[in-house]
Each structure stands twice: as structure tokens, then as C-alpha cells.
Amino acid sequence: MTVGRIRGIPSRRALATDLREIQNWLRTLPPEDLWDHPGVEIRLQVVDESWAVHHGDPGYDLDHRGFWGAGWLPRTGAVSDIARDLIEQVRDEAAMPRTLLEIFSGEK
């Protein structure tokens, strides 16, 4: 899907499928591995006409290109609203004037 200047935004259904897979993985972890948190941080990255979902500590995200959405994924529960929110964040970032994106990203 193309939105403004970007291509590669996932459908809500495709993103929700990936979020459910992360939830399934979370449910396999023993409670002590969750550091007393009932979920995990998630990020949607859209770059180069593709997308990826990152989860866990954002300090490990080494590729900062593209457009991003961020949120929290609980171990259980519906994911459709979370997927919609991440996609809306990516669209909002893509709609920002390029000069603001350059300022926020440190690009010249």
C-alpha cells in the first residue's frame, strides 16, 4: 500500500497476524522471564517498500531508517486496535513535512 511518500505499510490484518505470533511466543515464556511485565514493547518499521515488527528493548534497534510506530503488546488480548494504532503512527510520521523529519532524525 502507498501512503503519501511511502510504500510498504502492512494491512491491519497482516500486522495483527505478526502481533499474534509475538503474543504466542510471550505465552511460552516463564513469568520470571518477563521481568514482571504483562507484555512487551513493539515497534512497526516501514522502509524500502517493506515492513518489520520489532519487539523488546528498543535499544537493540540498530536500523533507524524509515517510518515508525510504537506501542505495547500485552501477553493476551485483541491485537486489531494495536495494529491500527501502529499503522496510524507510521502514516502520521510519513505526513510530516520533510524538514521536520530531518530535524527529528538528525538527517541533513
Structural domain boundaries in the chain: 2-105
What pTM did the predictor assign?
0.78
Predicted local confidence at residue 34, as pLDDT: 63
pLDDT above 90 covers what percent of the chain? 41
Predicted local confidence at residue 1, as pLDDT: 41
Residue (of 35, 36, 53) closest to 44 by Cα position: 53
Q: Please say if the pLDDT value at position 13 is more than 70.
A: yes
Q: For residue range 64-93, what is the model confidence (pLDDT) as tens digits?
A: 888 889 999 998 889 999 999 999 999 998
- Quick one: pLDDT band at residue 103, thresholds 50, 70, 90? low
Query: Per-residue pLDDT averaged across 85-104, rounded?
Result: 79
Predicted local confidence at residue 2, as pLDDT: 40
CB within 8 A of 8, min separation 6: which ones?
1, 46, 47, 48, 49, 50, 51
- Quick one: pLDDT band at residue 59, thresholds 50, 70, 90? confident
At which residue does the C-alpha cell 494495536 appear?
Answer: 82
Give the Cα separation of 93 and 101 in Å (integer).
8
CA dihedral 10, 13, 19, 20 (to 10 degrees): -160
